[in-house]
């Protein structure tokens, strides 16, 4: 029998040693919870968002303190772990709110950039249309000037185009030669017979 008691004692010693080592490796949750709560409590803009989780974390840490005073170490550690989890929830809520704000700003910037691009595109299309209209007007003016330079002066004649190439000096508005003027004194130049 004494050997079985010895075995049980050895196993109990190993288990308690392992739990002490695990607690030492894991560390105390109270300092971690306090470190998480300090910056979260400083976020006044997110106070309404994190108020419930901060309240729960503080309550769990207070319970852990009272349990430690009552020498209930295992439950005190559990309460501190709970307080740490609530502090992590508060931290994550702040992070999520900041990420949502950044996403909203990025979305607004993208919408603004899209609207700006649409405005620029419509201005470009208007400028292209204006350029097309001005080019059409310029082409029409150039064609009209070309036609004015090559157009005949007067109505077309039956002489096959010779009249258009001859100077119009001495011609009437109809394109025919003026009637011959007879000098005073007769056709023979005023000489007497």
Chunk the chain into consecutive blocks of 10 residues (it has 193) and report each block's average pLDDT, rounded to whole numbers: 51 47 60 88 80 91 93 93 94 91 92 89 93 92 86 58 52 54 55 51
Residues 148 and 139: their CA atoms lie apart, in Å, by: 14
Asked whether 53 and 92 are in contact (CB, 8 A), the reply is no
Alpha carbon 189 to its chain centroid, in Å, reads 98
Whole-number Cα distances in Å, 158 to 152, 155, 170: 13, 10, 18
Residues 107 and 113: their CA atoms lie apart, in Å, by: 10
Question: So what's the pLDDT on residue 186?
Answer: 56
Residues 106 and 119: their CA atoms lie apart, in Å, by: 20
Residues 55 and 80: their CA atoms lie apart, in Å, by: 14
Question: So what's the pLDDT on residue 13?
Answer: 43
Question: So what's the pLDDT on residue 61?
Answer: 92
User: DSSP letters of 24-41?
Assistant: HHH--HHHHHHHHHHHHH
Question: So what's the pLDDT on residue 24?
Answer: 39
Torsion (CA) 53, 55, 56, 61 in degrees, nearest 10? 120
């Amino acid at each position: 029998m004494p050997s079985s008691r010895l075995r049980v004692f050895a196993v109990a010693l190993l288990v308690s040693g392992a739990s002490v080592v695990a607690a030492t490796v894991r560390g105390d949750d109270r300092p971690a919870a306090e470190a998480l709560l300090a910056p979260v409590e400083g976020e006044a803009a997110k106070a309404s968002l994190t108020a419930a989780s901060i309240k729960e974390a503080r309550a769990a840490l207070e319970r852990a303190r009272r349990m430690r005073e009552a020498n209930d170490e295992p439950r005190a550690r559990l309460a501190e772990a709970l307080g740490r989890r609530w502090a992590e929830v508060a931290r994550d809520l702040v992070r999520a709110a900041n990420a949502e704000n950044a996403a909203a700003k990025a979305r607004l910037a993208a919408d603004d950039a899209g609207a700006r691009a649409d405005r620029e595109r419509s201005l470009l299309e208007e400028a292209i249309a204006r350029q097309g209209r001005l080019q059409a007007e310029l082409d029409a003016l150039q064609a009209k000037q070309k036609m004015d330079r090559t157009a005949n002066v007067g109505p077309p004649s039956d002489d096959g185009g010779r009249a258009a190439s001859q100077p119009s000096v001495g011609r009437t508005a109809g394109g025919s030669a003026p009637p011959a003027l007879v000098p005073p004194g007769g056709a023979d130049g005023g000489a007497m017979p």
